[in-house]
Amino acid sequence: MISPARLPVVIKRLERRYGRPEWQPRFSPAEELVFTILSQNTTDANAARSLAALKQRHPRWRDVAAAPVGGIAAAIRSGGLAGAKARYIKGALEGIIRDKGGLSFKFLETMGNGEAIHYLTSFTGVGVKTAACVLLFALGRPVMPVDTHVFRVAKRLGLLEAKATRESAHRILGAITPADDVYSFHVNLVRHGRRVCKAGRPLCGSCAVEPLCPSSRKT
């Protein structure tokens, strides 16, 4: 395991390689929630296509909440698992309107991160990663989503034990990452996982954090 004290060095090295991304909201919280559900088991490009088709059919999120599951599923068909995703989207949007009176997500301002995650994950199909994406990407809160790249790279770097689960990874990485660095570290772990620390064959010879990595296969 890497000592958490060395984490700032990892973050800096990744920023030197990939830049320090500055947070800005990519979607509203409702749109981020829907997009992240749509991105389950498919690529971001497919999810974006499904999102555009859904918005074309139902321009307001409260219309999506009121639409029949079959209609939502028909709009998002190209992204796969359309029936399940349609149920998750409708259930979450309907539930938030029922509980909070609308979809502004202002209610999250009065909730701590743990409480917000607990509330959002109370809806079927909304996991910790989805809730964390809403909080980080739409609201700029220091919550670490753990996707397949973050999980793999953090394990290889020794930031997580081999037996860590996605859920425990979310807690551990959130606890050891300085709040100001969560966005940058998340984005750069994903970039690093896609470009260098790939699932099949990591390119350790061109890795910016190789000297710190206990899993290096550099020869």
Does the protein bind ligand SF4 through residue 204 (CB under 6 A)?
yes
Cα 86 to its chain centre, rounded Å, is 19
Least separation in angstroms between CB 155 and ligand SF4: 9
Does the protein bind ligand SF4 through residue 197 (CB under 6 A)?
yes
Contacts of 54 (CB under 8 A, 6+ apart): 34, 38, 64, 72, 75, 76, 89
Fill in the DSSP letter of residue 110. G
Does the protein bind ligand SF4 through residue 31 (CB under 6 A)?
no
Does the protein bind ligand SF4 through residue 7 (CB under 6 A)?
no
Does the protein bind ligand SF4 through residue 209 (CB under 6 A)?
yes
With CB under 6 A as the contact rule, which of the stretches 22-30, 121-129, 174-182, 203-211 interacts with ligand SF4?
A: 203-211
Does the protein bind ligand SF4 through residue 148 (CB under 6 A)?
no
Question: Is 129 one of the annotated active-site residues of the chain?
Answer: yes
Give the binding-site size for ligand SF4 (rule: CB under 6 A): 15
Q: What are phi and psi of 142, to 5 degrees?
A: -75, 70
Least separation in angstroms between CB 14 and ligand SF4: 10
Candidates 2, 37, 146, 157; binder of ligand SF4 (CB under 6 A) is 157
Does the protein bind ligand SF4 through residue 202 (CB under 6 A)?
yes
Check 55, 90, 106, 129 and give the catalytic one: 129
| Cα–Cα distance measured from residue 41 to residue 146, given in angstroms and rounded to the nearest whole number | 14
Contacts of 87 (CB under 8 A, 6+ apart): 69, 124, 125
| Cα–Cα distance measured from residue 203 to residue 149, given in angstroms and rounded to the nearest whole number | 14
Does the protein bind ligand SF4 through residue 154 (CB under 6 A)?
no
Candidates 31, 32, 181, 210; binder of ligand SF4 (CB under 6 A) is 210
Q: What are phi and psi of 39, to 5 degrees?
A: -85, -5
55 in Cβ contact with 28 (< 8 Å): no
Q: How far is CA 42 from CA 48, 50, 62, 82, 186, in A?
A: 10, 11, 25, 11, 19
Interacting residues toward ligand SF4 by CB under 6 A: 153, 156-157, 196-197, 202-204, 207, 209-210, 213, 215-217
List, by residue number, the catalytic residues: 129
